[in-house]
Structure 1
Amino acid sequence: MDEYIKYINIPVNKILIDHYATIGLDEKMTMLLIRLMSYSNDGLTEVTFDDIIDGSTFTREELSKLIQHLIANQFIGINNKVVSGKHVESYDFNPLYKKLENIITNKATHTYTKNDVSDLFQYIEKLYGRTLGPSEYERMTAWLRDDGYSVDQIKEGVDIAYKNDITSLSYVEKILNSIKKESNNEPVIPFKNWLKGDI
């Protein structure tokens, strides 16, 4: 039995696993999406909170907040349809797939050199007044290498965040996503600084 279990593989969207942080997801949201997509692939027409919670560490309150967040930030949608005379809601993953598609199509749209990278890191370290950590280096390198942002775009995002007294790279990433949408003439949700009480 242990050999059988060892070689069981569950299909998982590799692009989602490789780039979940890039599109603004954390590990819990990613695991929730994987569970939801798994139920959808199994052909379930309706998935209850009990289904999702079973075998997980999610609480009902946490699950409700996470799903609301995924909907509000356009990672998933809700479809309503009638099955056997009953109204049934199902999850629509097309918004997520669109974000993942953008990751692929926008890869390496800008070229950069080692000097560009060095200049970017020095610029940010001088601005922040501290040395960047290894994870911060890797994340910004991924913005250049995988997401196709230019050095100037990243500097612009860092500057906007810094003017709001924020040095969080997650915040910078949201700004970069807004910049990308503007350059692609996509609708942009007004960017708000929740930490400063914007509503």
Structure 2
Amino acid sequence: MDRKMSPHSALVDVLQQGSTAFPVVLFKEYKRLGLNEGQVILLLHIIVFREKEEVPFPTVNQLEERMSVSADQIVQWLQTLVQNGFLSIEETVEGGIRSEQYSISPLLQQLAAACLDREPEEPDDSVEEAYENLFQLFEREFGRPLSPMECETLTQWLDEDKHPEPLIVAALREAVFCGKPSCRYIDRILLEWQRNGVQTPEEAAEFSRKFRTKGILYQSERSAGEGETGEFSLYNWVNQSP
């Protein structure tokens, strides 16, 4: 004899009805395609009716029962979806009986086009060349190939810290002149310039000119107890060619 199902068993029975696959890209791209949230939910209801309940052409009343908007709003959305190429109504003949059904093929076509539009652009050759030139300049000034850690540091200056390339070159020149050609020392220079609002090689030269002779610019890698005087002579590296 059948027994009345418990609430837990009834819930399990509902969950066992399965799920419906929705195109994830629909949630990512619907705003860009000009759809609103109500239209998206309407499309999802149409998909559920078709895939889970074998109702390929749900009526407005059936849709209204599951949505929190009026029948007039649903009709308006359906018309908009058809007119804008997101939904189509197809006529089928089976056993001599004509019937209609909704097709979301137009929606999938538009989503596919949106995905293609999102494909990454080809890298800018000029940017790649600028990076390569900068790496070669550092290797030339250091007199040796850069280590992987040094390459990562240069990339961080450009991509994360957003230091302008001319300013990085200026910091390199300053470090070489001071006899400290290392990424660690150059990073200290760039940080000091950033703190003081230095944005161009010309501003960097002026900043160095004012403070270098005072011995307070760019602390040495050695500790203060080693007796470093911090004295520098003036050097016009701004107008030096690479």
Q: TM-score, normalised by structure 2?
A: 0.41
Report 1 or 2 for greater relative contact order, CA contacts < 8 Å, sequence distance ≥ 6. 1
Q: Indicate the structure (1 or 2) with the bigger Cα radius of gyration.
A: 2
TM-score, normalised to structure 1, is: 0.49
